[in-house]
Amino acid sequence: MIDGFKAIAEITDFEEWKKRTGLTFYVGTDDDTGELKNTSSRVGEVVNTYECKFEEYTLTVKQTNYFNGGILGAKSCLLFVKGSFHKNYFNGVNFQQFPNSALSYEVYHLSDVLCLSPSDLKLQNIEVGVNVPLSFGVSNYIANSVLLHRTVPFIEYKPDTTGLILGRYAPHTQHSIKCYDKGLQNKLDRQLMRFEVRYTKMQPMAIFGIATFADLLNKRKVAALGKVLTKAWDNILISEPGVNLDTIGITDIQRELLLMGKYRDYWQQLHQARPKYFNKQRTKFRDQSTICGGQDTQGEIRNLILSEWGELCAG
């Protein structure tokens, strides 16, 4: 379902809006000079930044004061909201199922607290994903089998605060594909993989009619986002477990492809040197893996993604 996001809204009168919401915003000062840490300026304008933590959400207000000949003129005020609907609903964790009804609750809840209409809150980025229960080890699968998305290799995440490496991601210009071990992250006694597409730009969401909080209340629009996940998963190159390199009839060239194709560097170098040949080899690798007894984990997980998404949308 929809998880992390960043949104923006215009505030007409910051002081009046603060009174209506009852929220407390803080301004930091320098211990030595007493100057505001959150003030920036350029010719003709001064920008003040205020922050507030509400539940699991971070609220930032940037108020710009415009001057003309040293005289204060107009003001503009922008509110930035950042957080996770999923985490806020479950008080800081996001491994449980987060159905459509819970998403709607969070959208209305946050909009009401901010004294804004859902249509006033314009999305700047968004995460679409599902938690997929697997019957095999998630971390090992991501490390050894999830190779690349289209032409982009999956990069290992940096260790978290406890030193754990939870998974990998494939970065693109306007989005990234994320795969990580949700069970390990939350110390669960079951195998749970998070598969997610994070959009850093909202242009790709235009085709789905997703632009504001109000659009997230439209069940039809949200349900259609399941296509984002299945398409992203279909475009991942998987090194399937169970491939038998001693399969009768396999040639040395085919065996070499199966051996080398397990490595992300092989595909990255091949794409850089021979992009057209890369596509042919990618197809051959998939086909030969199937012939040589490779499991169809890609198909299995695709079905699980569809099932989970359907269940979340119906809930």
Q: What is the pLDDT of residues 176-210, one digit of tens each?
A: 999 999 999 999 999 999 999 999 999 999 999 99
Is the pLDDT at 212 greater than 90, yes or no? Answer: yes
Q: In the 3-class helix/strand/coil scheme, how is the chain assigned residue by residue?
A: CEEEEEEEEECCCHHHHHHHHCCCCECCECCCCCCECCEEEECCEEEEEEEEEECCEEEEEEEEEEEECCEEEEEEEEEEEEEEHHHHHCCCCCCCCCCHHHHHHHHHHHHHHCCCCHHHCEEEEEEEEEEEECCCCHHHHHHHCEEEECCEECEECCCCCCCCCCEEEEECCCEEEEEEEHHHHCCCCCCEEEEEEEECCCHHHHHHCCCEHHHHHCHHHHHHCHHHHHHHHHCEEECCCCCCCCCCCCCHHHHHHHHHCCCHHHHHHHHHHCHHHHHHHHHHHHHHHHHCCCCCHHHHHHHHHHHHHHHHHHC
Sign of CA dihedral 25, 31, 34, 37: negative
Mean pLDDT, to the nearest integer, of 80-88? 98
| Dihedral, 171, 174, 180, 185 alpha carbons, nearest 10 | 120
CB 9 within 8 A of CB 21: no
Q: What is the pLDDT of residue 169?
A: 98
Q: What is the pLDDT of residue 149?
A: 98
Worst-scoring range by mean pLDDT, 63-67, 86-90, 145-149, 196-200? 63-67
**136 DSSP 8-state letter:** S
pLDDT at 48: 85
Matching residue, tokens 């819970």:
102
* pLDDT for position 64: 86
Q: Which residues of 38-67 are buried (b: 16+ CB within 10 A; e: fewer)?
A: beeeeeeeeebbbebebebbebbbbbebee
3-state secondary structure of 81: strand
pTM of the model: 0.90
pLDDT in tens, 228-283: 999 999 999 999 999 999 999 999 999 999 999 999 999 999 999 999 999 999 99
pLDDT tens for each residue of 94-139: 999 999 999 999 999 999 999 999 999 999 999 999 999 999 999 9
For residue 223, report the phi and psi dihedrals to the nearest 5 degrees: -60, -35
Kindly indicate the confidence band of residue 161, based on its pLDDT and cuts at 50, 70 and 90: confident
Of the pLDDT bands very low, low, confident and very high (cuts 50, 70, 90), residue 67 is confident
- Determine contact, residues 85/107, Cβ cutoff 8 Å: yes
The span from the CA of 203 to the CA of 223, in Å, is 18
pLDDT at res. 239: 98
pLDDT of residue 242: 96
Does residue 50 register a pLDDT over 70? yes
pLDDT above 70 as % of the chain: 93
Q: What is the mean pLDDT of the chain?
A: 93
Does the pLDDT of residue 28 top 60, yes or no? no
Pairing of strands 45-54, 39-42: antiparallel
Give me the pLDDT at residue 29, please. 58
- Distance between CA atoms of residues 4 and 46, nearest Å: 31
Residue 74: per-residue pLDDT: 62
Rounded alpha-carbon distances, angstroms, from residue 77 to 48, 49, 138: 9, 10, 45
Rounded mean pLDDT, 54-70: 86
**pLDDT category of residue 27 using cuts at 50, 70 and 90:** confident
Residue 8 phi/psi, 5-degree rounding, is -135, 145
Asked if pLDDT for residue 43 goes beyond 80, the answer is no
- Specify the length of the chain in residues: 315
**What percentage of residues in the chain have a pLDDT greater than 90?**
86
- The answer to whether 211 and 202 are in contact (CB under 8 A) is yes
Query: How sure is the predictor about 69, in pLDDT bands with cuts at 50, 70 and 90?
Result: low
Q: How confident is the model at residue 32 (pLDDT cuts 50, 70, 90)?
A: low
